């Protein structure tokens, strides 16, 4: 079976993007697997440190590996926003396909140093590393607050130049006005900045915080070279609303009946995203 790098390259050449869907429950995982199978799309399954710790990294790796072989579909695992170096190394050791090191709170020098160290370990096992330059604000939830992005939060082109040269990182998460979470007012994306980053970086460019961004904006960033888009909040919102709705049925006690309905609702949302990213029929 082809690896993640193959699909990222293909997406880059053909101008579409691979979705990353985060999960922390079995019905979410099953929904992602079903959609990958049904729409013939490569999918990156994301787990944040919190999500991974909840389900258990060993369990996650086993479940994904088994599903990948059982259904013969390109499912890839990514540790999302890894900050704890022990946890990142554990993901590499257990067989995640890629790890994202979120060094946004460090100085550029420190970010480069740690990213290099992780790449050395990861590449020995053919695992990709996603670096990050700039700070992507917000949390993966629905909020009525307004989020303010400062100029220093955005990805600096000169930092990217130094970072990619010194680390040879595989993928790069950019901060171009994107935020985590769905907020009352979503900021505008800076396409000019994305173009400037693209000019000096041959890496696979990643957009975090895909939830809540208008479809036409998503299409634009793909046209400008984004090859991976992360979705989490919208899946969480559907999960919560859907679960709440079906729990109202006072006569139903079987978890697998209730959760199957939740799973179906999640699948519809995921399918929408797959068509938006045009990653269907790419196996």
The least CB distance from residue 188 to Zn ion, in Å, is 18
What the block records as the tokens of 194 is 């994305």
- Segment interacting with Zn ion (CB under 5 A) among 59-67, 203-211, 254-262, 267-275: 203-211
Q: Which of residues 233-262 bind Zn ion (CB under 5 A)?
A: none
- Segment interacting with Zn ion (CB under 5 A) among 145-153, 201-209, 217-225, 252-260: 201-209
Q: Is residue 100 involved in binding Zn ion (CB under 5 A)?
A: no
Is 102 tagged catalytic? no
Give 183's strand partners: 143
Nearer to Zn ion by Cβ, of 36 and 233: the residue is 233
Q: Is residue 208 involved in binding Zn ion (CB under 5 A)?
A: yes
The least CB distance from residue 232 to Zn ion, in Å, is 7
CA distance 131 to 116: 10
Nearer to Zn ion by Cβ, of 181 and 225: the residue is 181
- Segment interacting with Zn ion (CB under 5 A) among 58-66, 156-164, 181-189, 202-210: 202-210
Q: Which of the following is catalytic: 3, 80, 153, 170?
A: 80
- Segment interacting with Zn ion (CB under 5 A) among 37-45, 182-190, 204-212, 261-269: 204-212
The least CB distance from residue 175 to Zn ion, in Å, is 10
CA distance 237 to 222: 24
Q: Which of residues 59-88 bind Zn ion (CB under 5 A)?
A: none
Nearer to Zn ion by Cβ, of 174 and 266: the residue is 174
Q: Which of 225, 212, 223, 146 is nearest to 181 (CA)?
A: 212
Q: Give the binding-site size for Zn ion (rule: CB under 5 A).
A: 1
Nearer to Zn ion by Cβ, of 16 and 101: the residue is 101
Q: Catalog residues that contact Zn ion under the rule CB under 5 A.
A: 208
Task: Give catalytic residue positions.
Answer: 80
């Amino acid at each position: 079976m082809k690896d993640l790098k193959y699909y990222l390259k293909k997406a880059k050449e053909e101008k579409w993007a691979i979705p990353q869907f985060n999960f922390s429950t079995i019905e979410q995982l099953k929904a992602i697997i079903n959609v990958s199978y049904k729409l013939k799309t490569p999918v990156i399954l994301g787990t944040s440190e919190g999500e991974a710790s909840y389900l258990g990294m060993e369990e996650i790796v086993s479940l994904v590996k088994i599903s990948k072989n059982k259904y013969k579909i390109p499912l890839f695992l990514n540790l999302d926003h890894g900050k704890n170096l022990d946890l990142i190394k554990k993901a590499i050791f257990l067989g995640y396909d890629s790890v994202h090191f979120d060094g946004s709170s460090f100085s550029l020098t420190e970010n480069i140093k740690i990213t290099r160290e992780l790449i050395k370990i990861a590449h020995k096992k053919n695992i990709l590393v996603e670096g990050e330059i700039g700070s992507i604000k917000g949390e993966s939830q629905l909020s009525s607050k307004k989020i303010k992005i400062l100029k220093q939060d955005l990805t600096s082109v000169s930092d990217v130049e130094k970072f990619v040269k010194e680390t040879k990182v595989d993928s790069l998460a950019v901060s171009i006005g994107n935020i985590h979470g769905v907020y009352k007012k979503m900021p505008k994306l800076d396409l000019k900045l994305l173009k400037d980053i693209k000019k000096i970086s041959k890496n696979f460019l990643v957009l975090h915080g895909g939830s809540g961004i208008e479809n036409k904006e998503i299409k634009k960033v793909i046209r400008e070279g984004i090859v991976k888009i992360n979705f989490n909040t919208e899946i969480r919102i559907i999960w919560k609303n859907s679960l709440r709705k079906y729990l109202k049925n006072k006569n139903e006690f079987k978890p697998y009946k209730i959760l199957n309905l939740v799973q179906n609702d999640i699948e519809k949302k995921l399918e929408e995203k797959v068509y938006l990213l045009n990653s269907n029929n790419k196996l």
